[in-house]
Structure 1
Amino acid sequence: MADLEDSVTIPEFSCLLQMDPYLKPYEKDFKRRYDLLQKQLLQLEEAEGGFDQFTRSYRTFGVQRQSDNSLFFREWAPAAEALFLTGDFNGWDKFSHPYTKKEFGKWELILPPKHDKSPAVDHNTKLKVVVHTKEGERLYRLSPWAKYVTREEKSVIYDWVHWDPPQPYIQIHPRPKKPTSLRTYEAHVGIASPEGKIASYTNFTTNVLPRIKDLGYNCIQLMAIMEHAYYASFGYQITSFFAASSRYGTPDELKQLIDVAHSMGIVVLLDVVHSHASKNTEDGLNRFDGSDSCFFHSPPRGEHSLWGSRLFNYSRYFLFGTNVNY
């Protein structure tokens, strides 16, 4: 640690200590974290072309439709031996569509369009990633970048559903200008109804937004939007970080909710969970590539004993920003 103190210089740190001398005993920790940050930024520059480019990973991972209607698939599974794509599109053949291993733990696959030039995977059909581990296991996983996952009525496991509507929702209203001050209405879409059932995005748009506007609020904070298999967790044990919860409706219905809110001059904030994730394996991030780490610390450090969830390893450069983008 003495060597670290000598070699690491934090810009303007002395000014911070002047403002708050009580931080002085923690100088070593500040330097350690600053050193880790600089190393992470350097690694991102080498592997992803910089921090800004990395924050847009949702545009290049999962499944992306290209201009010629080919589909580009990319996953991060550093411990996997092999990856395959299966689903309705290939009759659930487990081996016909292998990914190609790339550097930095990435795997890629390109599906050319059909003869009629339409995408090889139809909108609203199911997919899975088949992971072969170095130990010889065959695992069926949901892409961590899935934009839509649903659950059959009699099942407890969520399915990855390819969301690529022929006529995607087009935003009508611009985002309101940043207000000088916020008056925030915190809401949970699922319980925003007097009825004894899980309410919907459409119900919120039609019945709740007008009331919020009439009460003089200029901001709403929506809770439990990121997909979570366990409803009683109130949205705090996330299984799919890039999918809006399907129990309230479709991604386009959420987009419409936000669009209508914008038309009323209401800013929309999403309650995003960064600190931990569900321990589910078949429909979560846990053991995605077959290892007990991947996105997390290995046990016991990577386990939250009170929540029964997994804890992220933030030192791994590929720990994506947990953000839902609409």
Structure 2
Amino acid sequence: MRRAHVAPAGASIASLGAIAARGRPSTNSSHRARVAALPRQFGALAGAMRASKKGNSTNKNSPLSRESHRTSKRSGCAVAAAAYTEDGMGCAGVDDKLYEHEGHLKYRWQKFVETKEAIVSAEGSLEDFSKGHKKFGFNRNSNGEIVYREWAPAAAEAWLIGDFNGWSGDATPLTKDDFGVWTTTLPPDGIQHGSRVKIRMRTGDGGFTDRIPAWIKYSTAEAGVMGANYDGIFWDPPPGQEYVRKNPRPPRPAASRIYEAHVGMSGQEAKVNTYRDFADEILPRIADDGYNTVQLM
């Protein structure tokens, strides 16, 4: 189990408050106070970014000097609005040593901006982009039919196989669109809940490979068999058997402090931890350390 110190690409500027969580959490009260203040500071930074774009008051091709960054740091706010530039170097107000990597940081910032703009242009927003599970994998259309989609642009042919069709290699072919997305539509009762499924693909060199669907909701391996292959499980509980959320959804934080973890290896004992173990033993510690977002690997 380890902690992630950088918010994923696409997170808001305010999410960069997660960098304050380097290493093990400090017990020093003044340090913890500074950590707690960082999301507000990065929030101000994000506001400055939006204001500068609306007012067009800053030449985006003329980044502020290093001295400007350092002046804002000496003023007591490492990421004050005046320190923001559109080259991604506002982070240097937190750590001067980042200037040693200025060229690479600017390169990564530019790639982030380009990628984000491409995603927003194609999907509408980062939030919409994050809802790929509503399109890919197994979903139902307005007629109740089962629609399966898989993105595999390099595949030459593809078929859906599983218990539902006797694992036939050619009974359920998929069709490919111009964007490399393979699709097939089945009747409402075409696949039984809890049955095994995989996608079979013919590769460019003529070989075949079977894979678990990338957006599968559940997978399992035969118990007691060493090296057993995993199978995807079609998970679509009938009415009355689906999980119903028991608690209200937590409010979205202004800035994410991300704790990255592997549930299975999160315990101290020589065993595979369960979700119940993780919830009872690990989540309270994560919350106590000040994190508000968990990324499961």
Q: Which of 229, 239, 257 is the equivalent residue of 1:157?
A: 229
Aligned partners of 2:267 and 2:91: how far apart in 1?
45
CA distance 1:149–1:268, shift in 2 (3 Å):
farther
SS at match of 2:159: strand
SS at match of 2:104: helix
Aligned partners of 1:108 and 1:192: how far apart in 2?
40
Q: Which of 188, 191, 198 is the equivalent residue of 1:128?
A: 198
CA distance 1:29–1:100, shift in 2 (3 Å):
same
Aligned partners of 1:134 and 1:44: how far apart in 2?
28
SS at match of 2:156: strand
Q: Give the strand-richer structure, 1 or 2.
A: 1
Aligned partners of 1:8 and 1:39: how far apart in 2?
18
In the alignment, is the contact (CA less than 8 A) between 1:220 and 1:269 conserved in 2?
no
Write out aligned runs for 1:1-326 (5 A): 10-11=85-86, 16-17=91-92, 20-113=95-188, 119-153=189-223, 154=225, 156-166=228-238, 167-175=241-249, 204=277, 209=280, 219=284, 270=294, 272-273=296-297
In the alignment, is the contact (CA less than 8 A) between 2:155 and 2:204 conserved in 1?
yes
Name whichever of 145-154 and 128-137 sits farther off.
Answer: 145-154
Render the CA deviation track for 1:2-49: whole Å, top value 9, x for unaligned: xxxx96965275655456443333221122112211221233234434
Structure 2 alignment gaps of length 5 or more: 1-59, 64-84
Q: Give RMSD over aligned pairs.
A: 3.9
SS at match of 1:139: strand
In the alignment, is the contact (CA less than 8 A) between 1:126 and 1:161 conserved in 2?
yes
Query: Max radius of gyration: which structure?
Result: 2
Q: Give the helix-richer structure, 1 or 2.
A: 2
Deviation at residue 198 of structure 1 after TM alignment: 5.8
In the alignment, is the contact (CA less than 8 A) between 1:221 and 1:269 conserved in 2?
no
SS at match of 1:140: strand
* Amino acid in structure 1 at the alignment position of 2:230: Y
CA distance 1:47–1:133, shift in 2 (3 Å):
farther
Render the CA deviation track for 1:241-266: whole Å, top value 9, x for unaligned: xxxxxxxxxxxxxxxxxxxxxxxxxx
Render the CA deviation track for 1:283-307: whole Å, top value 9, x for unaligned: xxxxxxxxxxxxxxxxxxxxxxxxx
CA distance 1:27–1:108, shift in 2 (3 Å):
same
Q: Percent identity?
A: 29
Aligned partners of 2:131 and 2:275: how far apart in 1?
26
Deviation at residue 122 of structure 1 after TM alignment: 0.8
SS at match of 1:52: helix
SS at match of 2:149: strand
* Amino acid in structure 2 at the alignment position of 1:69: G
Name whichever of 76-85 and 18-27 sits farther off.
Answer: 18-27
Structure 1 alignment gaps of length 5 or more: 1-5, 114-118, 223-266, 274-326
Deviation at residue 147 of structure 1 after TM alignment: 1.0
In the alignment, is the contact (CA less than 8 A) between 2:263 and 2:273 conserved in 1?
no
Q: Which has the higher contact order (CA 8 A, sep 6+)?
A: 2
Deviation at residue 120 of structure 1 after TM alignment: 1.1
Structure 2 length-normalised TM: 0.56
In the alignment, is the contact (CA less than 8 A) between 2:201 and 2:208 conserved in 1?
yes
Aligned partners of 2:262 and 2:208: how far apart in 1?
41
